[in-house]
Amino acid sequence: MKVLGIGNAIVDVVCKVEENFLNKNNLTKGTMKLVDEVEFKKLLSNVTIEQTIAGGSVANSIVGLSQLGNAVSFIGKVNDDELGNKYEKSLISEKVQYCYNKKKEFTPTGTCLILITPDSERTMCTFLGIAGKVSDKDIDDNVVKNSELVFLEGYLWDEGKPTTAFNKAMKLSKKTAMTLSDKFCVDRHKKSFLNLVNNKLDITFANEQEILSLIDAKNFDEVISFGKRLGKLIIITRSDKGSIAIGKNEVVECDSQKNLKIVDLTGAGDLFAAGFLHGHVNNLSIKECLQKGTMMASKIIQKIGARLN
């Protein structure tokens, strides 16, 4: 197996709604709102489901890697319920080996309700459910040992059970990569994330805001100095400024693609990581890895959602 992903297993439930549905439910168009189970069920009972897709940040990356022809697998926690079964089937249909044995749980499968209004705006309501409760008991030793690289999701990090899953995976893996996921995650777990970057990870993915926050840098030159001292790969996306890879002996830059018809930024970072890791596990140069990541991100932002097909 080339790459094993471990992350939040979130079912994206896509529904088309009218503007007044948002107003009636006190939802702000174009935003993401965390909701509890009661509110989620209420919303779900008043919409017609158009599409159900296996989502989550690292899961999106893993599907991208599969679409590029790599043998990949994924561990993420779902319940043995209707949405959990749909999640598993959606991954399998993308030729991803799903390596979690789901069981009947008290907490339902994590779900993101994506409400699309006639103007194509996406308003999201997320119920994390059981996704954030993955533990070391959910990590199969052999699956980790038989993978060339393990890719971890920063969103999943939390003190408690997910920490035990991360530590087990990192201890058993040949090579470990992680995405810092977002600035809120970094701010909340700065001490833990900095320890991971310094001592546990071989490859770290971040955007410019995330890495600046992680090391409390005043400018990007400080980020480059940090990366060179670290001596491991840090891959940073910088929006229209392109991307950069910082290692012990080299700094490699890649321009962003211009004149794109940007439709939806969902999944840009996820597919960039897929492209870069595809290059990495297939022994391409750092420059070629950045170019592959840029190509994948450029494709996905010109369509709705985080799936290329």
Tens digit of pLDDT for each residue in 69-87?
Answer: 999 999 999 999 998 999 9
The whole-chain average pLDDT of the chain stands at 92
Cβ neighbours of residue 21 under 8 Å, at least 6 residues apart? 27, 46, 47, 115
Q: 176: domain range?
A: 3-300
Token match 């209420």: residue?
42
Is-contact 214 304, C-beta < 8 A? no
pLDDT of residue 144: 98
pLDDT of residue 121: 77
In a domain, 306, yes or no: no
Tens digit of pLDDT for each residue in 160-194?
Answer: 789 999 999 999 999 999 999 888 889 889 999 99
Give the chain's domain count. Answer: 1
Tens digit of pLDDT for each residue in 270-284?
Answer: 999 999 999 999 999
> Residue 194: which CATH number?
3.40.1190.20
Instruction: Rounding to the nearest 10 degrees, give the CA dihedral for residues 288, 289, 292, 296.
Output: -160
Ramachandran region, residue 267 (left: φ > 0; alpha: ψ -120 to 50; beta: rest)? left
In a domain, 308, yes or no: no
What CA–CA distance (Å, rounded) separates 260 from 258?
6
In a domain, 305, yes or no: no
pLDDT of residue 195: 97
pLDDT of residue 1: 87
pLDDT of residue 118: 81
Tens digit of pLDDT for each residue in 211-254?
Answer: 999 999 999 999 999 999 999 999 999 988 999 999 987 999 99
Q: Which percentage of the chain shows pLDDT scores above 90?
A: 71
pTM as predicted: 0.89
Residue 31 in this model has a pLDDT that exceeds 90: no
Average pLDDT over every residue of 48-62: 89
In a domain, 307, yes or no: no
Tens digit of pLDDT for each residue in 91-149?
Answer: 999 999 999 999 999 999 999 898 888 887 778 898 989 998 999 999 999 999 999 99
pLDDT of residue 136: 95
What CA–CA distance (Å, rounded) separates 233 from 286?
10
Q: What is the 3-state secondary structure (H, E, C) of the chain?
A: CCEEEECCCEEEEEEECCHHHHHHCCCCCCCEEECCHHHHHHHHCCCCEEEEEEECHHHHHHHHHHHCCCCEEEECCCECCHHHHHHHHHHHHCCEEECCCCECCCCCCEEEEEEECCCCCEEEEEECHHHHHCCHHHCCHHHHHCCCEEEEEHHHCCCCHHHHHHHHHHHHCCCEEEECCCHHHHHHCHHHHHHHHHHCCCEEEEEHHHHHHHCCCCCHHHHHHHHHHHCCEEEEECHHHCEEEECCCCEEEECCCCCCCCCCCCCHHHHHHHHHHHHHHCCCCHHHHHHHHHHHHHHHCCCCCCCCC
In a domain, 43, yes or no: yes
pLDDT of residue 307: 79
Tens digit of pLDDT for each residue in 286-308?
Answer: 999 999 999 999 998 888 777 77
In a domain, 47, yes or no: yes
pLDDT of residue 46: 93
